[in-house]
């Protein structure tokens, strides 16, 4: 039996995910109760100013990546696929568990390209794929539960976790219709001045129907300012096919802010210390 650290924000009694209650949504219908997880952990993290792979930097005595793995296990994922790149062998050496599947992104060509590397292990999988980031250690199990429940209840093909900031500089903006439907996600460097005024931003965390995901990532192009394959492009692909795309807002924005600098790391450490004391910092 796996024992969680006392500081970990575990599911309360109403949020424990089992195969049974993933099916028992409010409308009683769900396409499939199987879940796979892809964790994006290939980045070097140049702004950390360290030779160490970013996901191996510790928060509260644990490598950041371990938090995402914990989330995946508590969501009862049947497959946990970790996309590694920078210092791939070192990262793998730190996580030797048999339930983890590692794939390598040899060239850093964007988040869409990273997910492409996970297609092999998912060829025989049918269900939903939860996509997590290996550098977001503050994400709570309750938030993931809410995301998965909403995805099932709304029968979405893509559900993206979002949040609000007055100035979400550096994050992709959530572009919606006047009725509130998600149209696309525009990255900072590709956004117009009007789009940069949007306060709702992308966390980089998604739940996606597996067959759509595997097909859509093969259609992503690198025709953008970064010349990268953006995973966010799957939103537009779904919309063009009139497939349901939803956004779920997280209330505590601190949960989904990535760790990109030593200052971010200190902030996460302080936040986690507050959780271990039983209060928000």
**pLDDT of 222-251, one tens digit each?**
999 899 999 999 999 999 999 999 999 999
The model's pLDDT over 82-132, given as tens digits with 9 standing for 90+, comes to 999 999 999 999 999 999 999 999 999 999 999 999 999 999 999 999 999
Highest mean pLDDT among 7-21, 55-69, 263-277: 55-69
Please say if the pLDDT value at position 22 is more than 90: no
* DSSP string for residues in 81-107: EEEEBTBHHHHHHH---TTEEEEE-SS
- Determine if the pTM surpasses 0.95: no
Average pLDDT over residues 187-193: 95
| pLDDT given for residue 279 in this prediction | 57
Q: Which CATH number fits domain 33-276: 3.90.550.10, 3.30.1490.100, 2.30.30.180, 2.102.10.10?
A: 3.90.550.10
* Domain spans of the chain, in order of start: 33-276
**Residue 108 and residue 228: Cα distance in Å, rounded?**
8
Q: What residues act catalytically? A: 47
Strands 35-41 and 79-84, bridge-based pairing: parallel
């Amino acid at each position: 039996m796996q024992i969680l650290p006392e500081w970990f924000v575990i599911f309360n009694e109403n949020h424990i995910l089992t195969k049974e209650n993933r099916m028992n949504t409010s409308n009683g219908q769900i396409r499939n109760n199987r879940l796979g997880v892809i964790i994006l952990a290939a980045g070097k993290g140049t702004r950390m100013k360290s030779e160490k792979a970013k996901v191996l930097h510790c928060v509260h005595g644990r490598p950041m990546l371990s938090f995402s793995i914990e989330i995946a296990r508590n969501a009862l994922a049947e497959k946990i696929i970790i996309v590694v790149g920078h210092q791939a062998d070192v990262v793998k050496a730190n996580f030797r568990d048999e339930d983890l599947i590692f794939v390598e992104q040899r060239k850093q060509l964007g988040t869409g390209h990273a997910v492409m590397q996970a297609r092999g292990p998912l060829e025989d999988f049918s269900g939903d794929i939860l996509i997590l980031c290996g550098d977001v250690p503050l994400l709570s199990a309750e938030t993931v539960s809410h995301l998965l429940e909403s995805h099932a209840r709304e029968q979405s093909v893509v559900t993206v976790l979002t949040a609000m900031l007055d100035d979400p500089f550096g994050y992709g903006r959530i572009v919606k219709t006047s009725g509130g439907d998600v149209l696309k996600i525009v990255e900072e460097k590709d956004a117009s001045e009007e789009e940069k005024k949007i306060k709702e931003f992308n966390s980089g965390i998604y739940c996606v129907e597996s067959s759509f995901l595997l097909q859509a990532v093969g259609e992503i192009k690198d025709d953008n300012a970064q010349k990268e394959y953006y995973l966010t492009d799957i939103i537009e692909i779904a919309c063009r096919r009139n497939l349901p795309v939803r956004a779920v807002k997280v209330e505590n924005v601190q949960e989904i802010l990535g760790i990109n600098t030593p200052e971010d790391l200190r902030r996460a450490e302080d936040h986690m210390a507050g959780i271990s004391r039983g209060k928000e910092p």
